[in-house]
A and B are shown apart, each in its own frame.
Chain A
Amino acid sequence: KQEVTQIPAALSVPEGENLVLNCSFTDSAIYNLQWFRQDPGKGLTSLLLIQSSQREQTSGRLNASLDKSSGRSTLYIAASQPGDSATYLCAVNIQGAQKLVFGQGTRLTINP
């Protein structure tokens, strides 16, 4: 059974810092991996999707990497801003199924 873990559960950093969020998964047979952000009381917003054959994806200040063999992904946020404060979730699309398996998320706070 695929399990997704995100560490840390919460992170607080001053504005302007670069930071890394971690995601690990137990079964490397994944189809792709997505990173989302969730603001309080809202749904999820897709940030980046990495196919299993890819090593990384970039969008603006965000860069996500994928090491399928070791079951790890990282989300790098450059020059953090208070507007980046949210919960960040990673999710893997498992082979042979259409569903995403989500981690519990990392609650990120950027302090002005």
Chain B
Amino acid sequence: GQNIDQPTEMTATEGAIVQINCTYQTSGFNGLFWYQQHAGEAPTFLSYNVLDGLEEKGRFSSFLSRSKGYSYLLLKELQMKDSASYLCAVNPGGFKTIFGAGTRLFVKA
């Protein structure tokens, strides 16, 4: 079967750094995505990893270890507007993308 696990909720302080972990077990692997989703809105693309290592994009970085079936999203210099759900998703091959349940991040002042 296909399984993607990530924490349900996290809380962090404005200006801090937070790491959201994701582990996956899928029938195949053709890339891992992170999306941000604000309540009542569609997801927006944050990052894509297909090779091991760290991808940095501004305040957001994403890491992948294929051998461990593990990824994390790192958010630096947290802002209040970063309060949202963060979805880890895997393409197991072909056209489909399988989404995790999402991690709700609360940023407090």
Our verdict on whether A and B bind, yes or no, reads no
Measuring CB to CB, which residues of chain A are less than 8 angstroms from any residue of chain B? none
